[in-house]
Structure 1
């Protein structure tokens, strides 16, 4: 079942990864409202705390992570008895001590890293069926170690290029979503679809080369199925028709090329499988709300502001 879960997890697009580091002493805590189109991670590098979400209370220990795949309303605090009624936050003397780093006035007893993943989950309707929280502990040593080592890279290497930071954050986020899909608390319907390894393997090939002119009949033959059976089983796994999924993949890849290269728009269109630049521009504008040129200009401004901020810090 692993390939199917991994393929499904990649249907979430991680647009941006924000990382904050906290050194916390004495009493601390905060109540957080639900965040749309986001996921949140709490990782204890040292010490720990408690996360309350949707009626669940999770103890977060050193080296552990709590993943909130929908960033539902929740509270995080040093201990269950710390009140958060009013005010909603208890962090005495909190101040910025560096780029993306904050500390309380009291000597730190807990070092916490908080990661916000900003998502495009249009092609992942299964998100609503995940548990509100997934606790990654030492019982999953390989996963916990990889997640923590990757998190250390995200949190401790501010000189990573925006492109590399996005790539690392995306891989990290996909691993978390794949873990959430495997959680016993996931209420996924038609779990037999997630055991469909031939479909998952075929879809992985499509994902690797979305620019190709894939024919449904050819893909069905590769999976050893009729055209109608392949289409139905692919839709059951993806949560949307394969054609819609393929179009999203192409336009997502186009956004990366526009943001990270200087390739002309016509070349970008061809790289993602569009023969016509106007047709590509219309499809891109429908998906992203702006033209390819405006999207590129906005990304350049964002990266320029980030570079200026780093230089000023």
Structure 2
């Protein structure tokens, strides 16, 4: 499994929520305490997205653009930045805050998971929310800005069209279909964003290097293996010195430092399960000696595994 797939697989919570809004201007929706990662796209018309708890300027989404919103306490989606919030959505509850205007009809159901007025000239917007969990989820979210916008393009259009079609259907297995389609759209959007972003994660850029990309895959597929730099170099067909230097230059950390950091991320999530002993967690991430694991974990996280467990429960 490649690095991005591994991150998404381990961080991903099930039952992602997909909703479609078909609404004529003026409309403005504020979302408070939303999930850590939201995917917003416009299928027709345009929309404005603003992160209300940062200094990020509003961005305009044209048809086919995709916005990735990470870790906001509150954000607003509207037809225009000047339209004041009319409805606040907190979880599954909705509250009208501006009764002086015609508030968006977020209650009227037009089809499964589809709400609005459905009239000609309306903006058609899709919103998918992920409840990423644990330290692996934090690791993924930390690689993105609060608001990343991927312009419309042929690489994402087919997935958008399919997700929009499936969002309005209600057949057996529909939630599973939507989960996987939203996953697909997220991966395509991440690829597109990191391909054009100067701040793409170093490991993502390193995936294009055959030797280092293969080494990263090996470390993620077998994190508990007792890897040495010499063995990794042999597996990817380079000398030890050349491999170590190139890995460090491309990824930003030496091979075993990267491995330790990834092991501690996995361990931090495993420790959230109160039924799993520290010794079992240690073995799961490649440490036969629980004491050695505890020392490594405290060096990486600043607290012992037992203290970490108490803090996360």
The TM tier, using the shorter chain, reads 0.5 to 0.7
Unaligned stretches of 5+ in structure 2? Answer: 51-56, 89-97
C-alpha distance in 1, partners of 2:266/2:183?
13
SS in 1 for 2:67: strand
Shift of 1:272: 1.2
The alpha-carbon distance between structure 1 residues 205 and 132, as it changes in their structure 2 partners (threshold 3 A), is: same
Partner residue, 1:25: 23
Shift of 1:123: 8.3
Across the aligned residues of Structure 1 and Structure 2, the Cα RMSD in angstroms comes to 5.3
SS in 2 for 1:40: strand
Shift of 1:266: 1.6
Asked if 1:228 is matched to 2:241, the reply is: yes
Q: Which of 129, 144, 154 is residue 115 of structure 1 equivalent to? A: 129
Q: Which of 293, 297, 301 is residue 287 of structure 1 equivalent to? A: 301
C-alpha distance in 1, partners of 2:29/2:189?
23
**How does 1:22-61 map onto structure 2 within 5 Å?**
23=21, 25-26=23-24, 27-30=26-29, 39-44=37-42, 49-52=46-49, 54=57, 57-60=60-63
Partner residue, 1:210: 223
Shift of 1:65: 5.7
Shift of 1:85: 5.3
Shift of 1:112: 2.9
Q: Which of 134, 140, 148 is residue 132 of structure 1 equivalent to? A: 148
Shift of 1:246: 1.0
After superposition, give the CA deviation of every residue in 1:22-76 in whole Å (9 maximum; x if it has no partner): 545343224789x9x95531045x755424575753213xxx4613365789753
C-alpha distance in 1, partners of 2:62/2:210?
35
Unaligned stretches of 5+ in structure 1? Answer: 300-313
Asked if 1:270 is matched to 2:267, the reply is: no
SS in 1 for 2:148: coil
After superposition, give the CA deviation of every residue in 1:90-131 in whole Å (9 maximum; x if it has no partner): 75465699xxx7966x56864532425657555898646x99
C-alpha distance in 2, partners of 1:169/1:281?
38
SS in 2 for 1:132: strand
Do 1:69 and 1:177's aligned partners in 2 also have CA atoms closer than 8 Å?
no
Q: Which of 256, 260, 281 is residue 243 of structure 1 equivalent to? A: 256
Do 2:87 and 2:104's aligned partners in 1 also have CA atoms closer than 8 Å?
no
Shift of 1:273: 0.5
TM-score by length of structure 2 reads: 0.60
